[in-house]
Structure 1
Amino acid sequence: MSFSFLPILLISMILFFVLFFGIGFILNMLLRMSWIMAIIYPIVAVAIIQDVSFLDYFTSPGTAFRSLGNSIMTLAPLDIAILLSGLAGAILSGVVIKLLRKKGYRMF
């Protein structure tokens, strides 16, 4: 068994963490809502996982959600680890913003 996927996994996890931490931090500063990215992240994750149009969830919800369930069940453990690192970045951005505000820093 080859471990050539390990550097790719680590880089992907770090990229997702930093990407969603950064986006969450900026959105939290601009919108002054500490948990906005943690709320938006599941929608972004579904868009990454599923290739069904967003409108299909309203026009034919049964088929769209069934397809989403199948897509989630067939995710590889490595994909789940990458998506969870993005969620960790989104949550940590909210924690950092709340901590900075508590310490007296005002952002915008």
Structure 2
Amino acid sequence: MYLAQLIVAIPLLFVLFFGIGFILNMILKTTWLPLAIFLAVVIYVGKDVTQIFTVVNMVLFFSGLAGTVGGIWTIKTLRAKGYKMF
């Protein structure tokens, strides 16, 4: 993977998983479900991958994880301040 692709992929994955986690929290009203789904997908995809995890793969994993946790944290903060999501 080229450096330019990595620089674009990190914020892209963060925003993607932030949005997915935020929407799942609003619709299903379960706070930690997006994190469980994210980890289940990573484990499912990870066991099919025959190559060794590289630093690039781990950086992309943690950017997606940070987006998921960021979405969870945002929903929890909004609910604590009195906003009702759907």
**Residue aligning to 1:59:** none
When structure 1 is superposed on structure 2, of 10-19 and 22-31 the one drifting more is 10-19
Taking only aligned residues, the RMSD between alpha carbons, in angstroms, comes to 1.8
CA distance in 1, matches of 2:46, 2:17: 16
**Residue aligning to 2:64:** 86
Gapped regions of structure 2 (runs ≥ 5): none
**1:15-69 CA-partner distances (Å, limit 9, x unpaired):** 1111111110000001111121111111111233333xxxxxxxxxxxxxxxx7x
2:46 pairs, out of 44, 49, 59, with: 49
CA distance in 1, matches of 2:36, 2:44: 14
Give, as a single letter, the amino acid of the residue that structure 2 aligns with 1:13.
Answer: I
CA distance in 1, matches of 2:43, 2:8: 21
Among all aligned residue pairs of Structure 1 and Structure 2, give the percentage whose two residues are the same amino acid.
Answer: 41
- Size of the alignment, in residue pairs? 86
The offset of 1:83, in angstroms, is 0.8
